[in-house]
Amino acid sequence: MLFFGLLISATLLSVFIARMGLLQAAAWPDHMRHGLAIGLLVVGLDHLVTPERYLAMIEGFLPAPQFIVALTGLCEIAGAIGLLFPATRRIAGLALAAYFVAVFPANIANAIGGLNVAGLPQSPWYFWVRLAFQPLFVWWALVAGGIVGRPVTRYFVR
């Protein structure tokens, strides 16, 4: 859910910057792409800077948890960068959608296990509510990558 807040904030920042005339972003998918890129860059860097926050989320049966945390952070950073270039945008969107699907089982395990992770809310419901956001992230990556059509915002935002 914290990632969702970051995603919304970064997307709205893109809208604001575009309205100021400092950024060329013609439609909501552009803003969504910028928001997702900023969000993934921040979270990916956090994986590398504070890996201990993510180590608790790695299942015990998986080998090399430090490597997994670093790899997921690098995947998020690579996806963020890939979204910014037209030549790699679609593949980045598809790869990020697959990434969000791939980490979903870990999110389920975290909800069941009731983790206590530094920097995240300590409420037992946090990881359960977080599960509901995962399909949204998959959809967001597909819109940002230009895989699916115009987002539903066309119905209420001009």
Mean of pLDDT over the chain: 88
Domain coordinates in residue numbering, the chain: 2-150
Q: Give the pLDDT band (50/70/90) at residue 149.
A: confident
This prediction's pTM: 0.87
Q: Are 41 and 76 in contact (CB under 8 A)?
A: yes
> Could you read off the pLDDT of 48-65 as tens digits, one per residue?
999 998 898 888 888 999
Lowest mean pLDDT across 27-36, 109-118, 131-140: 109-118
Model pLDDT, residue 143: 95
Work out the number of other CB atoms within 10 angstroms of the CB of residue 118: 9
Model pLDDT, residue 156: 45
